[in-house]
Chain A
Amino acid sequence: MYGNTYDGGSASLFSGGGFMLSQATQTTDSGFSKSRGTQNVLSLTVKQISEAYHSNDDKSNFAVDGVEASNVRLLGLVMNKAERVTDVSFSLDDGTGRIDVNRWVNETSDTNEMDMIQNGMYVTVSGSLKGFQGKRHVVAFCVRPVTDFNHLTLHFLECIYVHLDNTRPKVNLTAGAVTSITNDVKGYQPPVSNQFSTHSGSGGSGGSETNIYMMVLDVFQEPASLAREHGLHVEEIVQRLGLPIHKIKSNSYPSSLCLTFIYLLCVRVYSFYFVLFRDAIEYHVDIGNIYSTIDDNHYKSACNG
């Protein structure tokens, strides 16, 4: 099976490995194929792959930003293409580095697909990441020429997006909620993994931060906020969501001393919230939910009203 051919394949160099797994004749005894069903394809740069953590058992276990990276998507220039009877190999240069790519050709359609690929051509490669004797390479299941070069920009922006999404502290609930709001960014179901538990390990602050992220976005998405040309000022967000100082002040308190104390406390809490909200706003700007308008203090939701 997979493991056997891999181990014994030093002479025949990976023969029989790769995407035979995807064929229906394979059984699911190898754990890997099981995980493949639930795996997402991560857009990555070669630089990220070179730094990916590789757990050294004989299965291909790579992790980038704490997320399992077995299926990857790369985009770059084809170099040193070599054709053999059973496979085609080339080196992919994406500008951040080079990685060897191997594509098994079993069917005529595979051969046709690979015939189109020439040296110096930009291609998108989808495949699985393998490590063998310390060397990393990609076994491709799809190699397509790039025809619209905006895909190059898009690919690298996707790499940034995926990195950002996988490194932000958050809980599972938000992952779903945020993607449902940003429904124009399709195709990413952020892998739900236990990385978050390690990330937000600092005394359960992860949960409350998440709520603040959601609360901030909710305010931006109110119809009244959407209607305003310049969006909302950061101060307004703090006033809306932070401790409502004016309400506390307007309540009658027994003594002026007590009032002063509460007021000072409020100011402390207020500045604390201000930092949190700033962070939340920066997060939403990074993932594209909101954008700055007239200056760095005004933000507006990217969703149409």
Chain B
Amino acid sequence: MDTSSPAVFVNAEILKMYLGRRVRTVVQVLRNEGAIMIGQSTDGQQLTIKGSQVFPPSRFVEVIGIADGNQSICAEICTDFGETFDMQAYNGLCQLANGKFKNLFL
């Protein structure tokens, strides 16, 4: 068992609190700019994902990586979540997992 490097559930707002830490989030791909992917976060902001493989626009992608800026993640693992995903529910989960029920996750 190893709980030393958790990946925190974040949306764009919560991401800012975890600079330098391992985070996980889901974005909907807006566009790819070379090696950088621009995605919309679950709370409607734009996030820059570095080091990810290329996913076509409008797909939902889960990104696990290090928060290296207020709106930027350096990706370690990207998973294609397909064409439909409930962003609102995930956003709610981010809030719960960082609020009242943080002790279940971190």
Interface residues of A (CB under 8 A from B): 45-50, 77, 95-100, 120, 122, 135-137, 148-150, 152-154, 156-157, 159-160, 163-164
Q: In the complex, A270 Cα to B9 Cα: how many Å?
A: 41
The answer to whether A49 touches B79 (Cβ under 8 A) is: no
What 1/0 mask marks residues of chain B from 17 to 39 whose CB sits below 8 Å from any chain A CB?
00000001010000000000000
Closest chain-B Cβ to A53's Cβ sits at a distance in Å of 15
Q: Name A65's closest neighbour in chain B (CB-CB).
A: B104
The answer to whether B93 touches A157 (Cβ under 8 A) is: yes
Contact with A153, one of B7, B93, B104 (Cβ below 8 angstroms): B93
Closest chain-A Cβ to B55's Cβ sits at a distance in Å of 14
The answer to whether B104 touches A163 (Cβ under 8 A) is: yes
Main secondary structure of the interface of B (DSSP, over half): mixed
Residues on B with C-beta less than 8 A from A160 are: 96-97, 101, 104
Residues on A with C-beta less than 8 A from B89 are: 150, 153-154, 157
B contact residues, range: 20 to 34
Instruction: Please list 11 pairs of residues, one from A and one from B, whose beta carbons are closer than 8 Å in the complex, sorted by A's number.
Output: A46-B1, A47-B103, A95-B8, A97-B3, A98-B2, A99-B1, A149-B85, A150-B89, A157-B92, A160-B96, A160-B97
Closest chain-A Cβ to B56's Cβ sits at a distance in Å of 17
Q: Given A149-B60, A156-B97 in contact, is the A47-B106 Cβ separation under 8 Å?
A: yes
Q: In the complex, A274 Cα to B4 Cα: how many Å?
A: 43
The answer to whether B79 touches A122 (Cβ under 8 A) is: yes
Q: Name A157's closest neighbour in chain B (CB-CB).
A: B93
Q: In the complex, A77 Cα to B96 Cα: how many Å?
A: 21
The 3 closest A-B pairs by CB, nearest first: A97-B3, A149-B81, A95-B7
The answer to whether A149 touches B106 (Cβ under 8 A) is: no
The answer to whether B93 touches A149 (Cβ under 8 A) is: no
The answer to whether B104 touches A95 (Cβ under 8 A) is: no
Known contacts A46-B3, A149-B60, A149-B82; can you find 5 more A-B pairs with CB under 8 A? A95-B105, A96-B104, A120-B77, A153-B90, A164-B101
The answer to whether A153 touches B6 (Cβ under 8 A) is: no
The answer to whether A50 touches B77 (Cβ under 8 A) is: no
